[in-house]
Amino acid sequence: MSVPIYQTSTFAFPSAEEGAERFAGRSDGPIYTRLGNPTSQALEEAVASLENGCGAVATATGMAAVTTVLLALLRQGDHVIGTRPLYGATAQMITDRLSRFGIDSTFVAATDASEVQRALRPETRLIYIETPANPNMDLADIAAIASIARGAGIPLVVDNTFAGPHLQRPIEFGADVVLHSMTKSLNGHSDVVAGAVVAAVWMTVSAPTFLAELMLDSALAAGLYRRLDSADEGHWFRTAIKRTGWLFVCVMLGFALVGALMQTYAPHATSIGEVIRHYLVNQ
């Protein structure tokens, strides 16, 4: 079954009263595509369910997802801990861009959770990890870092682009927010650029607010990027934050294929791992 493509910016309301209800947030119907669209919503529900989350926001690119989460969760004077390595544009976003807004950062080795613990400061508001990490596949212990985040009362954000939800669901290990460049394995066809942010089930009290804030921030961020967009700005500033239509339907078509592909890849990856383990044990 295919999801209909709602290729529209604006929606008609059955009555002025219903329009007023929607704008007041008392009715769920769509208003304006940047804020919500049934096609985007179908993708958001699918990715939230794959990640075992309570809800998701789909974005135009993976970097739009990264930027939206950082802008939604951090304020001036905050400190963020990131693991090393991170995807280059994400690391650059944190060090070169967030620093302009008075947000400090510390990067620690992904492979040593105790370094995350040591890097905590009273003003630390977020731990951001990527595992396996781009580009060298370093692994972080999600459960160990989630328990450090919980102890500090701050959220753990995991970029799950590389493994994808078919192989790893960070929320099940304690992550609060999971994000994706769906451009990669989730779409699986190399024909779409897209991203997603998923919130964890146990954020039920705060998650609806968090997701609503993400929607708002993504709307605000789109305006911010337009203002900042100049020849010398990074490539993500030229990216619209929200997108919908047939591109999102393509991503959903990819979900089914990726599951099948993973079943083919996984035994090969396990065999290669076994050969490497055998070599390491016997050398």
Q: What is the DSSP string of 51-67?
A: TTEEEEEEESSHHHHHH
Task: Answer left, alpha or beta for residue 253, where phi above 0 means left and psi between -120 and 50 means alpha.
Answer: alpha
85 vs 80: CA distance, rounded Å? 15
Residue entry with tokens 């044990």 = 281
Q: Is residue 82 within 8 Å of residue 257, measured between CB atoms? A: no
Near ligand PLP by CB under 6 A: residue from 130, 148, 170, 252: 130
- What is the closest distance, in whole angstroms, from the C-beta atom of residue 191 to ligand PLP in the complex? 13
Near ligand PLP by CB under 6 A: residue from 40, 61, 68, 105: 61
* The Cα angle at residue 109 between residues 172 and 273, in degrees rounded to 5: 65
87 vs 255: CA distance, rounded Å? 23
Q: Is 218 in the site for ligand PLP (CB under 6 A)?
A: no
Q: Is 134 in the site for ligand PLP (CB under 6 A)?
A: yes
Cβ proximity to ligand PLP: between 26 and 235 the closer is: 235
Q: Is 87 in the site for ligand PLP (CB under 6 A)?
A: yes
Q: How many positions of this chain bind ligand PLP (CB under 6 A)?
A: 15
Q: Is 254 in the site for ligand PLP (CB under 6 A)?
A: no
For 243, the 3-state DSSP assignment is coil
232 catalytically annotated: no
- What is the closest distance, in whole angstroms, from the C-beta atom of residue 195 to ligand PLP in the complex? 5
Near ligand PLP by CB under 6 A: residue from 40, 181, 187, 244: 181
Instruction: For residue 200, give every residue at least 6 positions away whose Cβ sits within 8 Å of its Cβ, in sequence order, or none.
Output: 53, 54, 171, 175, 176, 177, 178, 207
Instruction: For residue 281, give every residue at least 6 positions away whose Cβ sits within 8 Å of its Cβ, in sequence order, or none.
Output: none
* The Cα angle at residue 181 between residues 179 and 185, in degrees rounded to 5: 110
- What is the closest distance, in whole angstroms, from the C-beta atom of residue 236 to ligand PLP in the complex? 7
Cβ proximity to ligand PLP: between 132 and 155 the closer is: 132
Q: Is 161 in the site for ligand PLP (CB under 6 A)?
A: yes
Cβ proximity to ligand PLP: between 152 and 187 the closer is: 187
Q: Is 160 in the site for ligand PLP (CB under 6 A)?
A: no
- What is the closest distance, in whole angstroms, from the C-beta atom of residue 68 to ligand PLP in the complex? 12
- What is the closest distance, in whole angstroms, from the C-beta atom of residue 61 to ligand PLP in the complex? 3
Q: Is 40 in the site for ligand PLP (CB under 6 A)?
A: no
Interactions with ligand PLP, residue window 195-214 (CB under 6 A): 195
Q: Is residue 191 within 8 Å of residue 257, measured between CB atoms? A: no
63 vs 265: CA distance, rounded Å? 26
184 catalytically annotated: yes
Residue entry with tokens 């529209």 = 8
141 catalytically annotated: no
6 catalytically annotated: no
Cβ proximity to ligand PLP: between 152 and 193 the closer is: 193
- What is the closest distance, in whole angstroms, from the C-beta atom of residue 53 to ligand PLP in the complex? 17
Instruction: For residue 57, give every residue at least 6 positions away whose Cβ sits within 8 Å of its Cβ, in sequence order, or none.
Output: 44, 65, 68, 196, 197, 211, 214, 215, 218
Which residues does the annotation mark as catalytic? 34, 87, 159, 184
Interface residue list for ligand PLP (CB under 6 A):
61-63, 66, 87, 90, 130, 134, 159, 161-162, 181, 183, 193, 195
